[in-house]
Structure 1
Amino acid sequence: MANNGLFVGMVTLDLVYLSPKLPGQNEKIAASDYTVAAGGPATNAAVTFSYLGDRATILGVVGTHPITPLIRSDLQDQGVTIADLDPTATNPPPISSIIVTQETGDRAVVSINAAKIQAGVEQVPPDIDQDITIVMIDGHQMEVSRAIAQSAKSRQIPVVLDGGSWKPGLENLLPFVNYAVCSANFYPPDCDTHQDAIAYLRAAGIPHIAITHGEKPIEYFSSGTSGQLSVPCVDAVDTLGAGDVFHGAFCHSILKHTFTDALAASANVAAHSCQFFGTRQWMASNGSA
């Protein structure tokens, strides 16, 4: 039976270019390929969750700007439901311009975060979390995320944090998180090392913690046990969205596997996605968790 996932956070429009190199100062270069898709950490995680056979809803700000039909059409194609926190907003959605370097798969991103489009709890659609089985938050809608996470925790619905980087206000949300899956760039206040970050999250009461390091092993702490998990080695074409794919696959896998098994399965899906350009092509080749 399919699970219902609620993904709370950023909704963007991503303009992605595949280029032989990054442009220098005052240099114009021609891309060899490009793609346009809805993006953002929670959004790409929702797309992955849906692709893996579950039902996904993204809770974020979309609005009515002329650009937003591109977002809505893409997410409809991916089977993701939009719950709009500000359906009458006329401002353009956040747009990310991304250059993927052809030889290495590394990406450079210029974007704007959700600081200017923060929503209040009163904007959350009624009964949005009525039938959900898991919640994922990316920290880009802090007030809404805290309310959703607190409600989920009270009903024993697992809450997953995508800790891409530390964001002010996360300290108030962490007590409601069951699984913190963070990047190597996640440093809470007064934390200088990954061990500091894990200790900070443990002190907040989070029982299951992981820190990903790209192609290097994942560090984890789970209910008193710590260790490392190796990840698949692949020839990366594009690393854009790999972390988002990881989180979506994790939300799918943790509902039926142990923490470490879910991390391993998610690493397999994310590594597979890195072998394709953009955030959608990998799904045409049957990557699964």
Structure 2
Amino acid sequence: MGKALACGLATVDVRQVVQRLPGPDEKVVALASTVEVGGPAGNAARVCSTLGVGTHFVGAVGRGPLAEVVRRDLAASGVAVTDVAPAGFEPPLATVLVTEATGERAVVSRNAVGTTGHAPLTEAALDPLLDGVAAVLVDGHHLPAALDVARAARDRGVVVLLDGGSWKPGLDRLLALVDVAVVSAAFALPDGGGLAGLLRTGPAWVAASDGAGPLRWRSADGGHGEVAVPEVEVVDTLGAGDVLHGALLAHLARHGTGDLPAALTEAVEVASRSVTQPGVLGWA
């Protein structure tokens, strides 16, 4: 079994559970509150490590109180960290409201918008990072680092997985280095084309999740299909897509790309379990 690496965004999530979302100029009392690391790559790294795969996170962390939350929670999950943050960087703060009755979440976050000047990842730095790594995840955030990691992984024959939450400028360059792309229902190429169009950008396997609806997949050899999502009692949907990608990253690190439909089925089952409990790792 190889190790895994997740490269991209880490946030600090302030999660508040409410009976209903507030209206304009209204205050509501939270039923529960938590503060913990979030972000697609940050959460995927924690999930992958929790599933027993040695995992490294590469992204912008920085210094200060918010950065310490990121470092604390990644370390608690056994995830090593390589920081590529520019001087003065603080992790973005995400405000999350989870509606108690439905488990649906509303999120406000700046993500990595406007962040420049990332510390470069040289070949000398990438060699030890990728030593023993069998699968890499990139989420399209902090694109300079993602391109460095994906290019080096591709050169070494390491599987590269994309978590595509939404289209971002420059993502076309990253997709050309990706083997497997799993995107959300909200993801759309600038010129359209759906999964068939996404295949033409470079990956050999592509899939799209759709909440409680089936996950659809296609492959470059003409294969296609769906993975049904189990019916469960939903408590909290925050991070469900990140759990899906973290579980898929763990499978790829263990087994490679030999049976992607089975890998997607396994990842969907883990993500479905995750929404039955509060928080990204409540199921664990």
What TM bracket, shorter-length normalisation? over 0.9
Please tell me whether the aligned partners of residues 119 and 141 of structure 1 are also in contact (alpha carbons under 8 angstroms). no
Match of 1:224 in 2: 222
Q: Which amino acid aligns with 1:268?
A: E
1:68 Cα deviation after fit: 1.7
Deviations 1:38-59 (A, max 9, x none): 1100010000000000011111
Q: Which amino acid aligns with 1:12?
A: T
For structure 2, list consecutive stretches of 5 or more residues without a partner in the other structure.
none
Deviations 1:261-285 (A, max 9, x none): 01000000000000111222221xx
**CA distance in 2 between partners of 1:15 and 1:157 (Å):** 34
**CA distance in 2 between partners of 1:215 and 1:181 (Å):** 16
Percent identity, aligned pairs only, is: 39
Match of 2:43 in 1: 44
- Pairs within 5 Å for 1:1-289: 1=1, 3-86=2-85, 89-120=87-118, 122-123=120-121, 125-127=125-127, 128-191=129-192, 196-222=193-219, 223-254=221-252, 255-256=254-255, 258-283=259-284
1:158 Cα deviation after fit: 0.3
User: 1:176 aligns to what SS in structure 2?
Assistant: coil
Please tell me whether the aligned partners of residues 62 and 84 of structure 1 are also in contact (alpha carbons under 8 angstroms). yes
User: 1:165 aligns to what SS in structure 2?
Assistant: coil
Aligned length: 277
Please tell me whether the aligned partners of residues 126 and 152 of structure 2 are also in contact (alpha carbons under 8 angstroms). no
User: 1:15 aligns to what SS in structure 2?
Assistant: strand
User: 1:249 aligns to what SS in structure 2?
Assistant: helix
Comparing 119-128 and 48-57, the one that deviates more: 119-128
Please tell me whether the aligned partners of residues 231 and 267 of structure 1 are also in contact (alpha carbons under 8 angstroms). yes
Please tell me whether the aligned partners of residues 139 and 145 of structure 1 are also in contact (alpha carbons under 8 angstroms). yes
For structure 1, list consecutive stretches of 5 or more residues without a partner in the other structure.
284-289
User: 2:283 aligns to what SS in structure 1?
Assistant: helix
Match of 1:286 in 2: none
1:4 Cα deviation after fit: 1.3
**CA distance in 1 between partners of 2:106 and 2:66 (Å):** 23
Q: 1:216 to 1:79 in 2, by over 3 A?
A: same
Deviations 1:230-260 (A, max 9, x none): 1111111000000000000001123426100
Deviations 1:93-136 (A, max 9, x none): 10101000000010000111212323546256453223311110
Q: Which amino acid aligns with 1:267?
A: V
**CA distance in 1 between partners of 2:112 and 2:37 (Å):** 15
User: 1:13 aligns to what SS in structure 2?
Assistant: strand
* Structure 1 length-normalised TM: 0.92
User: 1:114 aligns to what SS in structure 2?
Assistant: coil
Please tell me whether the aligned partners of residues 121 and 143 of structure 1 are also in contact (alpha carbons under 8 angstroms). no
Runs (4+) off by over 6 Å: none
Please tell me whether the aligned partners of residues 84 and 119 of structure 2 are also in contact (alpha carbons under 8 angstroms). no
User: 1:236 aligns to what SS in structure 2?
Assistant: coil
Q: CA RMSD in A?
A: 1.5
Q: 1:121 to 1:172 in 2, by over 3 A?
A: farther
User: 1:6 aligns to what SS in structure 2?
Assistant: strand
